[in-house]
Amino acid sequence: MRQNLLHPLTAWRHHEIPPAAPDVTVQRMRDAGGPVDEACYPCGCGCFFIAPVSTSVSCPHCGRTQAW
């Protein structure tokens, strides 16, 4: 009768998805060591400095904590 419509899941064909082409930009970033999490901070004393991104950064010149 209608047995062909009620087949078990194991009878389904497994369709393989071909692997996507590698993203050149992502691979270059990984090869370079990943993103650099640093920012340039200005201080009230006139000093500009580069430091890791954080919520508590202090000026290397005067020691003031920078507001984020």
Comparison of pLDDT for 9 and 54, the residue scoring more: 54
* Domain ranges across the chain: 23-68
At residue 51, the pLDDT reads 92
> How confident is the prediction for the chain on average, in pLDDT?
79
At residue 50, the pLDDT reads 93
* Exposure of 59 in the CB half-sphere (CA atoms within 13 A): 15
At residue 54, the pLDDT reads 85
How sure is the predictor about 11, in pLDDT bands with cuts at 50, 70 and 90? low
pLDDT in tens, 37-59: 899 999 999 999 999 988 889 99
Cβ-Cβ contacts under 8 Å for 29 (sequence gap 6 or more) = 35
- Return d(Cα 38, Cα 30) in angstroms, integer: 17
